[in-house]
Amino acid sequence: MINDPQKLGDRPPHRAAKKRILLAIIAVLLALVLWLLWPFLTSRPAYYADIDEHFRYGTIGGESTDGIPYWLWKALPVVFEDRLPPDHLPGEGMTAFGFMQEPDHDLPIGFAKSSRQILPALGLDVVTQNCATCHVGKLRETPTAPVTLISTMPGHNVNLQGYIQFLTAIAPDERFSAKHIMPYIAEMGANLNPLEKLVYKFFVIPQAREQLLRERLDLAFMDRQSQYGPGRVDTFTSYKTRRFGFPVELLPPEQLNGIADYPSIWNQGPRAGMYLHWDGNNNNPDERNRTAALALVAPGNLNFDSLYRLQQWLNDLPAPQYPYAINQDLVAQGKPIFEANCASCHDILNRPDKLNLETVIPIGDIQTDRGRLDSYTYDLTSNQYLLFSDITYRGEDKRFKNYRKTNGYASAPLDGIWLRSPYLHNGSVPTMRDLLNPPAERPTTFYRGYDVYDQENMGFVTTVAGENSKQFFQYDTSLGGNGNGGHLYGTALSDSDKTALIEYLKTL
C-alpha cells in the first residue's frame, strides 16, 4: 500500500501528537519545579584574585536571585537593536550606553558573570552589576591619544539611566518572547543542551520579562525627571519606589530633582567619621557603601565578603596623581590662595579635629541647586532604618544607624579633585575655571561624556558636541535639578590668582 505511513517511514500522527503532549507536560513540570526551588538554588559568585580586576568584574551579590541570565543579556541588544541610542555602532551592544569594554574580558566593566546552580549537571550563568558600573572612568590627553582607564573615579561617560530605560522599554515589546529570542541565542553560539533550552524557553525568558515589567512600574518616575545623561544618577528615588513601595504617582515634583554626579570612592579610610553623600546625611562609610550596593542588589542578597574586601582596598587607595605637566612656580603661588579661600571648608583630611567637624553648609549659604537636598526626605530616613534588621556580618549588626536629614550640602575633601569634573553635586559646572567664575558667567549648556582632558581649565572638554559618529549629551542648566548657581567662593579672585589656584589643585 503506497499510502501506508508505516511503509513510507513516517511516524503515525497519533504518536507525534503524544510526543508533543509529553514534552509540554515535562516543560510545565520543569517550570513548576524551578519556580518552587528558585529561592533555594546555590550560586558560584565571580571572584578575582587581583583586587582591581575584582572591583571591575567581581560580584557584590545578586547572582542567586537577581541579575539577567547571560545569554539573554547578550541577545537583548541584538534583538532590540532599534531601541539602542540612535548613534550606536553596529554590534556595539550594551557599550552603546558608555560602558567600557576591555579586550581580554567578555563583559564590559561593571558587570559580573556568575553561575546559578540549578541541578548538579546544570548551571545557569547570570549577569549582575557591581560598583564599577558607576566608578570607573576613562581619560585621554588628546583626541588621538590612547585611553587610560581609572578605577574608583566617577564614571563620567556611563549613561546608567539610558541602560535602565532600555531594559524597561523593551519589556512590553511583543518580541520579548522565547519564540523570537531563542533563534538569536542559537545564532550567537550558545550551544545550549536540550534541558538548558527548556529552561530558557519556559522559565528564564518569561521570568525576566515579568521582572522587567515590574521594574518598569517602579522606575516610572524617570519619565517625570530631566534626563540624567552620562555620569549622573538619582541616588534615592528608586529606594522609595523599589524598596519601600512609595507610590510613583504620589511623589511630589520637588522630590524628583535629586539627580547627582557619581562621586569618587578612593581614600575611604580617612573619611571614616566624616559626613558623606552630597548632603552629608551619613558619617559611616560602610553604610554608605551598602546604600550604593542596594541600588543593584536586594539587602538579603548582598555578598558581604566581597563588599568587605573591596572596602578594605578602598580604605587605603590613594587618589590618582595628576598625569600631566605641572608648573611648580604657579603651585607655590596657588597654595596660599587655597589656604585663604578654600582650606577652611575643603582641607578636611589634614585637620586633626576632622571627625568632630560638622561640614554641612546650610543651603542658604552655599546657594547651590537644592534638588538633591529635597529628594532625601524624613520619610525615607525612617524607612532606611528598617533595612538589614535581621542581618549580621563578622558579628556586627548591619542595620543602618547613622542616617539623618540635613539642610545643606557637605564640603568634601579635594583629593583627586582634578579628576572629578564636572563640578558641584549635580555636575552642572564643566571645569574648575568655570566654578571660579560668577554663576552668570558659567556655561548654561555644555556637553557631557567626552574623555579628552582640558589641562588649562581643569576638567573634561565640554565644548565638543560629538566625535566620529558618537554624539555627546547636552546638559541644560535651566532644567529641574540642573542649576549651576551658588558656591561663590573664589569668584572674586583675579584671573592670575585663579590660574595659580587651579595649578595648586592639580597637586591634591
Per-residue pLDDT at 307: 94
Rounded distance between C-alpha atoms, residue 79 and residue 185, angstroms: 9
Residues 1 and 55 in one domain: no
Question: Does the pLDDT of residue 120 top 70, yes or no?
Answer: no
If we measure between CA atoms, which residue out of 403, 391, 417 comes closest to residue 307?
A: 391
Rounded distance between C-alpha atoms, residue 489 and residue 491, angstroms: 6
Q: Which of residues 26 and 365 earns the better pLDDT score?
A: 365
**Residue 7 pLDDT class (50, 70, 90 cuts):** very low
For the chain, give the mean pLDDT.
Answer: 90
Question: Does the pLDDT of residue 39 top 70, yes or no?
Answer: no
**Residue 445 pLDDT class (50, 70, 90 cuts):** very high
Characterize 253-282 residue by residue with b for buried, 16 or more Cβ atoms within 10 angstroms of its Cβ, and e for exposed: eebbbbbbbbbbbbbbebbeebbbbbbbbb
**Residue 31 pLDDT class (50, 70, 90 cuts):** low
Rounded distance between C-alpha atoms, residue 508 and residue 502, angstroms: 10
The residue with cell 552642572 is: 428
Rounded distance between C-alpha atoms, residue 187 and residue 157, angstroms: 31
pTM greater than the 0.75 cutoff:
yes
Number of domains the chain contains: 2
Question: Does the pLDDT of residue 305 top 50, yes or no?
Answer: yes
Cell numbers that stand for 183 in this block: 533563534
The residue with cell 572674586 is: 492
Residues 60 and 96 in one domain: yes
E strand or H helix at 365: helix 363-366
- Name the DSSP letter for residue 145: S
Task: Let me know if 481 is exposed, middle or buried by CB neighbors in 10 A (0-12, 13-18, 19+).
Answer: buried
**Residue 410 pLDDT class (50, 70, 90 cuts):** very high
The pLDDT of 156-184, averaged and rounded, is: 97
Domain edge (last residue) among 182, 201, 227: 227
Residues 107 and 173 in one domain: yes
Residues 19 and 49 in one domain: no
Per-residue pLDDT at 147: 97
E strand or H helix at 13: helix 13-37
Domain edge (last residue) among 227, 248, 268: 227
Residues 164 and 205 in one domain: yes
Characterize 431-470 residue by residue with b for buried, 16 or more Cβ atoms within 10 angstroms of its Cβ, and e for exposed: bbbbbbbebeebbeebbbbbbbbbeebbbbbbeeeeeeeb
CA dist 52 → 127, 131, 178, 231 (Å)? 19, 11, 37, 21
Residues 31 and 64 in one domain: no
The residue type at 141: E
> At 282, is the secondary structure helix, strand, or coil?
strand
Task: Let me know if 327 is exposed, middle or buried by CB neighbors in 10 A (0-12, 13-18, 19+).
Answer: middle
Contact 234, 228 (CB under 8 A): yes
Question: Does the pLDDT of residue 72 top 70, yes or no?
Answer: yes
Residues 184 and 35 in one domain: no
Per-residue pLDDT at 42: 56
> At 305, is the secondary structure helix, strand, or coil?
helix
Q: Is residue 50 part of a domain?
A: yes
Q: Is residue 14 part of a domain?
A: yes
Residues 101 and 29 in one domain: no
Characterize 140-165 residue by residue with b for buried, 16 or more Cβ atoms within 10 angstroms of its Cβ, and e for exposed: beeeeeeeebbbbbbbbbbbbbbbbb
**Residue 9 pLDDT class (50, 70, 90 cuts):** very low
Residues 214 and 110 in one domain: yes
Residues 97 and 128 in one domain: yes
**Residue 165 pLDDT class (50, 70, 90 cuts):** very high
Contact 406, 280 (CB under 8 A): yes
